[in-house]
Amino acid sequence: MDYNEVLYESYQRCIEKPLFLKQFLEIFSGCNPKFSMMFENVDLERQERMIKAALILLFNASGVDGIRMLVKRLVQRHRDMGIHIQAEELDIWFDALLHTVEQHDPHYNDEIKEAWIKVFSIGLNAMKEECTAS
């Protein structure tokens, strides 16, 4: 199985749904009061664009070393804004993402879930390393 291809096709099915990113933000922010506070008074359309860009970065981090450095910079950018990401919060973020994918991808199954986990784990692990390094 080509995990990248399976994930890409799933991502395309999700992203074409107008509420996908909005619902992801709602699910994620509902996981912890700290997360919901982070999104108060935030331009949600801009946040959705940033999440879309982050998803693309994480997807591409599985195959390109230079992109893994950009992924690490996501943690640094959040830190510069006063948001100190903990490694375990990335797991919560990813669980919320998988939950949202499950709701929006009509073909979602164990194979698709495995593809998301395998491909995103490289970028998420790079981010976790940066969390613990700071």
Mean pLDDT across the chain, nearest whole number? 86
Between residues 64 and 61, the one the model is more confident about: 61
Handedness of CA 55, 59, 61, 64 (dihedral sign): negative
The domain total for the chain is 1
pLDDT exceeds 80 at position 76: no
> What are the pLDDT digits (tens) for 77-111?
767 776 777 889 889 999 999 999 999 999 999 99
Mean pLDDT of 18-43: 84
Q: Is pLDDT of 119 > 90?
A: yes
> Which residues span the domain enclosing 37?
3-133
Using an 8 Å Cβ cutoff, are 48 and 25 in contact? yes
Q: What is the model's pLDDT at position 35?
A: 75
Q: CATH no. for residue 104? A: 1.10.490.10
